[in-house]
Amino acid sequence: MYILSAGSQKDHNPQFEIFNGEQTSHSEVPARIDTIEKALRREKFQIDKTFSPVPKSLLLKTHKVDYVKFISQASRELKNNESLYPSIFNMGRGQGVTNSMTKMGNFSSDMYTPILPSTYKSAFESASIAYSAAQKLQQGKIQKGYTLCRPPGHHATSSLMGGYCYFNNTAIAANYLSSYGKVAVLDVDLHHGNGTQEIFYQRKDVLTVSIHADPRFKFPYYTGFVNETGEGLGKGFNVNYPLAEKTGDKKYQATLEKALLVIKKYRPTYLVVALGLDTFIEDPIGFFSLTTEYYQKMAETIAHLQVPILIVQEGGYNTEKLGNNAVSFIKGMIS
Ligand SMILES: [Zn+2]
pLDDT digits (tens, 9 = 90+) for 85-102: 999 998 877 677 788 888
- Say how far apart CA 83 and CA 104 lie, in whole Å: 12
pLDDT for position 74 = 96
Name 313's bridge partners: 275
* Ligand 1 center–CA 316 separation, angstroms: 6
Bridge-partner residues for 2, per DSSP? Answer: 145
193: left (phi over 0), alpha (psi -120 to 50) or beta: beta
pLDDT at position 8 is 83
Alpha-carbon distance of 129 to 133, in angstroms, equals: 6
CA of 114 to the centre of ligand 1 (A): 17
- List pLDDT tens digits, range 140-176: 999 999 999 999 999 999 999 999 999 999 999 999 9
CA of residue 207 to ligand 1 center, whole Å: 20
Q: Can you name the CATH fold of 2-12+24-54+123-334?
A: Arginase; Chain A (3.40.800)
- 154 CA from centroid of ligand 1 (Å): 8
State the distance from the centre of ligand 1 to the C-alpha of 97, rounded, in angstroms: 32
Q: How far apart are CA 325 and CA 34, in angstroms?
A: 14
What does the pLDDT profile of the chain (335 residues) look like in tens digits? 999 999 888 899 999 999 999 999 999 999 999 999 999 999 999 999 999 999 999 999 999 999 999 999 999 999 988 999 999 998 877 677 788 888 899 999 999 999 999 999 999 999 999 999 999 999 999 999 999 999 999 999 999 999 999 999 999 999 999 999 999 999 999 999 999 999 999 999 999 999 999 999 999 999 999 999 999 999 999 999 999 999 999 999 999 999 999 999 999 999 999 999 999 999 999 999 999 999 999 999 999 999 999 999 999 999 999 999 999 999 999 98
Query: Distance between CA 172 and CA 204 in Å, rounded?
Result: 16
pTM: 0.97
- CA of 99 relative to ligand 1 center, distance in Å: 31
Among 114, 89, 117, 91, residue whose Cα is nearest residue 103: 89
Query: Is 155 tagged catalytic?
Result: yes
Angle at 317 between CA 15 and CA 270, to 5 degrees: 115
Q: What is the DSSP letter of 161?
A: B
Catalytic residue among 12, 63, 154, 155: 155
Provide the H-helix boundaries in the chain. 31-42, 56-62, 65-77, 100-107, 119-138, 169-177, 194-200, 249-266, 292-303, 322-334
Q: Which residues surround ligand 1, an ion (CB under 5 A)?
A: 189-191, 276, 278, 315
Through-space distance between the first and last CA atoms of the chain, rounded to whole angstroms = 10
Q: Rounded to an integer, what distance in angstroms lies between the CA atom of residue 306 and that of residue 2?
A: 16
Task: Write down the domain spans for the chain.
Answer: 2-12+24-54+123-334
